[in-house]
Amino acid sequence: MKNNWGTYIVIAFVLFISFIMYFVLKVQTDSKYDNDLVVEEYYKHDVHFQDEMARIQNAHDLKVKPVITVEANGVSIVFPADFTPKDIKGTVAIYRPSNKKFDFQVPISFTDSASLFVPKSKFVGGEWYINMEWQYKGKSYLTKEKIYVK
């Protein structure tokens, strides 16, 4: 039997579609390919976007900003010296974009100096995002940074 070129095009399309469907099904069923959103309830989070931008602008307008430093034994967050430590309230949300099981939050609380330390035992090696939300003298601030922990 002699096949014409149209038969070969149909066979090529069927093979290509089968190849694509195999990978789509593999990604959807295999738990190692986790496709969760970074933020739960994405649309509710998106409604407050303008408020978030105002808090980011407040943090950007500071003359001296908080400094996040990755050290050998952990991560240090130091607020400017002109801030009164007892007046700073808020949380530090630390999350790993590749696996939400490692996400955690630390309340901002100080003893005598305006510095916060998170021990390395809470981290696994790799990329982390730090979102600091804090209030100081009635003004809200938001700082977002990316760090890499070895």
pLDDT tens-place values along the chain, 150 residues long: 677 888 999 999 999 999 999 998 888 887 776 666 566 666 776 777 888 899 999 999 989 899 999 998 999 888 888 888 888 899 999 998 888 888 899 998 876 677 888 898 888 888 999 999 999 988 999 999 999 988
Do 125 and 142 have their domain in common?
Answer: yes
CATH code of the domain in which 97 resides: 2.60.40.10
Do 69 and 114 have their domain in common?
Answer: yes
| Sheet-wide strand order for 115-119 | 67-71, 74-78, 115-119
CA distance 117 to 17: 53
Do 92 and 58 have their domain in common?
Answer: yes
Q: What is the pLDDT of residue 130?
A: 93
Q: In 10 A of CB 92, how many CB atoms?
A: 21
Do 26 and 55 have their domain in common?
Answer: no
Domain that includes residue 141, residue range: 42-149
In one-letter notation, the amino acid at residue 57 is Q
Do 50 and 110 have their domain in common?
Answer: yes
Do 22 and 48 have their domain in common?
Answer: no
22: helix, strand or coil:
helix
When divided into structural domains, the chain yields a total of 2
Q: Which residue is associated with the tokens 């409604």?
A: 47
Task: Compute the C-alpha angle 37/42/43, nearest 5°.
Answer: 150
